[in-house]
Structure 1
Amino acid sequence: MTDQRIDLVGLSRQELKAEMERIGEKAFRAKQLWQWIYHYGVRDFTKMTNISKNLHGKLAEHFYISRPETAEELTSVDRTRKWLYKFDDGNEAETVFIPEEDRGAVCISSQVGCTLTCKFCHTGTQLLVRNLSAGEIVGQFMAARDSYDEWPSPPGDKRMLTNIVLMGMGEPLYNFDNTVKALKILMDQEGISVSKRRITLSTSGVVPEIRRLGEVADVELAISLHAPTDEVRNEIMPINKKYPLKDLMAAVRDYPAAINARRITFEYVMLKGINDSEADARALTRLVKDIPCKFNLIPFNPWPGSDYECSGRKTIKRFVEILNRAGYTATTRVTRGQDILAACGQLKSESERVRCSRMKARIEAGIEDESHVLPASAE
């Protein structure tokens, strides 16, 4: 029998208050629950010590506090950890923690599969199954905290899981409402309390939603750029045909981070003979002129069936030098978790088997980036 109770993870503060009122409780209970769920990481109502025993039972009758099921957990030789999380409907998505000496970033997914078909990306070979809910997005970070025993929420300088990057499976801006709702929960200071300066959202360039994001969330922005010209970007990133570089750069220039001299990150995968020439590097500097930005160069991570090769070490070094001479910071990302397929562009779950045939037809018809037109039943 299907559980008819409501999952409290993923509800906004207002929604949580409304649920308390629905069961005849005062609004202040919502604040208490919020802190237990998001500050203390508690899943069992009986452990909420400032709530009466009678109310414990009432809450358990109407609600539950979820985590995604850990279907698989792998730890790399470099300490990178990857989880395959299974949700209530059996669909799966991957989450990765990338540790540094005194901090680390949790890379979370926003969709099961991906709307886009970027040719160099393993995740892009798994067609979109559905969007993740706000609770499923937040739940990935909460489950990662469970794994590292980081409850209650410690001060920022004592955490290992200090940063969040929306760079996992899916295009977060094609799941805009759920993503923004999740971001607000993650940033709430009475709960998980991750600063917006420690959250980076990576997008392939959904121009209208970049503008909306700046208005409602203003987290750090990373652009999956990967080419300095429309000709090359059209070939490796079909989304560019809908939102060409001129429009993308205009949206980036208007983003609050750029206006306030916080730097935009441009991600750039290094593909041998495709986008790695000296001319490409110089074209890149012209493209981003007057944008406060930095470059994150990503050595291509091979995956089974891929047609590309990574640029050579000397080629990457020369590329960096040209960007540096033009006044830009350019770093080469150290590949992490490659032995467990946790590196950039390597995430993929097996949920592809449940995709709709008509979704495949959309892809073949050239509208692969229209996740927002999915029927409600698929979201």
Structure 2
Amino acid sequence: MEPQAARGVLVEKVPLESYVPPAKPSLVGLSRAELAERLGGIGVPEGQRKMRVQQLWHWMYVRGVQTFAEMTSVSKAVRADLEQHFTVARPEVVAEQISEDGTRKWLLRLPSGLAGERAHEVECVYIPETDRGTLCVSSQVGCTLNCSFCHTGTQRLVRNLTPGEIVGQVMVARDRLNDWVDRETPNGNRLVTNIVMMGMGEPLYNFDAVRDALAIVSDNEGIGISRRRITLSTSGVVPNIVRAGEEIGVMLAISLHAVRDELRDELVPLNRKYPIAELLEACRNYPGLSNSRRITFEYVMLKGVNDSLDDAKRLVKLLKGIPAKINLIPFNPWPGSAYECSDWTQIEAFSEYVFNAGYSSPVRTPRGRDILAACGQLKSETEKLSARERQALRAMAMTD
């Protein structure tokens, strides 16, 4: 069990492990400069490296190939050298669940570099809609935070994901959906059009890897998803918010969920370190902020906790002067949670007040609840298994 924070003191989780690369590491997630360095390490002449990097980039991120043998524009000798030292592997799909509403959740196993060690797992969710297809991507194994309403937050923090493991989730989705360059559909549209960094983990506590991964995802010569279609969600790591605008440049979402520090201290314990006033000041200074590049404030609706009209009034007052949209999220229940979802009439009244004050306030339609793929429900199968084991042990102890 993670230690509980005393009142007014934040106890942050520390990663239990560091990434250990497998014997044959994947080239997925490396920058062009890093690819050139790897090519130099296997003897590719300096004068050829730029060309070879472009070839690799195209085959990995435009064509989505899974073996070097498929890279037919690369010489056989270079392909043989690449095959000897590297792979183009992405995370392994352990399980796929498809919701009755079409949402897909993949349990992904990450390659382990330690012989005999159980590989770690994360979850990734694809949400199809009429005008877009959104992929919810994880940034950590487990989670740094202890948000009381979030299933993912009950996990230990095992380790940060690498850029390759983050990019690899996008590639897995395109693999499973047949969404690469030569996919044949009536209208030719991509299925994965939007990325949200809203899966397992706090992206701004894995800043460098998230930055490097999203640079690849948004690269116009590769995967090519526009930065305006990528949203990074944070619980409020204030020192990295402005830095994210400067170095990553994607759309920003803030997991707010409360309008008073004493309540947010409970719901989002990170608030004890970075209270609401500091968080909103960082939002006001977010680079590129405008009416066309608004910040999304996420607000989970908890019955009798944060859903009163007084809360709605305080919310409007807090956000005054910030180009913003408020996403109201009906609470998605999970086993053992102490919270209930607000009544629908109360959600509508809250939304109406915020809307009449001049803010867009859509109520997010819950997706994938039946497969625990909705917001706040993600939790790796590894962790679920250990939870069952702990429950069994507790039951045995009670009968002794």
Normalised by the length of structure 2, the TM-score is: 0.86
Q: What SS does structure 2 have at the residue aligned with 1:329?
A: coil
* 1:11 aligned residue: 30
d(CA) in 1 for partners of 2:202, 2:335: 22
2:174 to 110, 126, 145: 145
Can you list the C-alpha shifts for 1:189-236, whole angstroms capped at 9, x where unaligned?
A: 111011000000000000011111011111000000000111110111
Q: Does 1:64 align with 2:95?
A: no
1:112 alignment partner in structure 2: 141
What residue in structure 2 maps to residue 322 of structure 1? 353
* 2:153 match: secondary structure: helix
Whichever residue aligns with residue 302 of structure 1, its letter is: P
Alignment of 1:87 onto 2:116: no
- How far is 1:84 from its partner? 0.3
Equivalent residue for 1:40, pick from 63, 77, 99:
63
Cα drift, residue 256 of structure 1: 2.0
Contact 1:225–1:268 (Cα < 8 Å) also in 2: yes
The answer as to 2:365 corresponding to 1:346 is no
Indicate which of 220, 226, 239 corresponds to 1:208. 239
Verify the 8 A CA contact 2:146 2:268 in the aligned structure 1.
Answer: yes
Would you say 1:171 and 2:202 are equivalent positions? Answer: yes
For residues 317-359 of structure 1, what are the alpha-carbon distances to aligned partners after superposition, in whole Å with 9 as ceiling and x for unaligned?
110111011100000000000000000000001344899xxxx
SS of the residue corresponding to residue 305 of structure 1 reads coil
2:135 partner SS = strand
Q: Which runs of 5+ in 2 are unaligned?
A: 1-20, 113-118, 387-400
Q: Does structure 1 residue 30 correspond to structure 2 residue 59?
A: no
Shift of 1:4: 2.4
1:301 matched residue in structure 2: 332
Question: Are 1:189 and 2:212 counterparts?
Answer: no
SS of 1:169's equivalent? coil
CA distance in 2 between counterparts of 1:196 and 1:157 reads: 21
Structure 1 residue 282 corresponds to structure 2 residue 313 = yes
SS in 1 for 2:336: coil
Question: Partners in 1 of 2:130 and 2:381 — Cα distance?
Answer: 32
Worse-matched range after superposition: 344-353 or 79-88: 344-353
Seen in structure 2, the aligned counterparts of structure 1 residues 237 and 327 have a Cα distance that, compared at 3 Å, is: same
Partner of 2:9: none
2:69 counterpart SS class: helix
Matching residue within 207, 220, 225 for 2:256: 225
Q: Which runs of 4+ in 1 moved over 4 A?
A: 153-157
After TM superposition, give the deviation of residue 260 of structure 1 in Å. 6.5
> Which residue does 1:21 correspond to in 2?
40
Closer/same/farther in 2, CA of residues 181 and 344 from structure 1, 3 Å limit:
same
Deviation at 1:49, TM superposition (A): 1.5
- The structural deviation recorded for 1:19 is 1.2
Letter in 2 for 1:175: N
2:155 alignment counterpart = 126
Check conservation: 1:112, 1:351, Cα contact below 8 A. no
Aligned-partner Cα distance in 1 for 2:188–2:204:
30
**Equivalent position amino acid for 1:288 in 2:** L
- 1:253–1:259 CA contact under 8 A, matched in 2: no
Bigger shift: residues 14-23 or 241-250: 14-23
Instruction: Out of 267-276 and 250-259, give the one that drifted further.
Output: 250-259
Deviations 1:110-165 (A, max 9, x none): 00110100000000111111111110011011001000001127799711110000
Mapped to 2, the partners of 1:238 and 1:140 lie a distance apart of 28
> Following the alignment from structure 1 to structure 2, what is the Cα–Cα distance between the partners of residues 188 and 214?
17
Counting matched residue pairs gives 354
Is 2:242–2:287's contact at 8 Å kept on the other side of the alignment? no
Alignment match, 2:304: 273
User: What amino acid does structure 2 have at the position aligned with 1:69?
Assistant: E
Identity %: 57
SS of 1:49's partner is coil
Whole-Å separation in 1 of the counterparts to 2:62 and 2:336: 43
1:353 and 1:300 map into 2 onto residues whose CA distance is 20
What is the identity, as a one-letter code, of the residue corresponding to 2:347? I
The whole-number CA distance in structure 2 between the counterparts of 1:284 and 1:253 is: 15
SS in 1 for 2:38: helix
> What's the C-alpha RMSD, in Å, of the aligned pairs?
1.8
Runs of at least 5 residues in structure 1 that lack an aligned partner in the other structure:
356-379
SS of the residue aligned with 2:216? helix
CA contact (8 A) 1:222 1:266 kept: yes
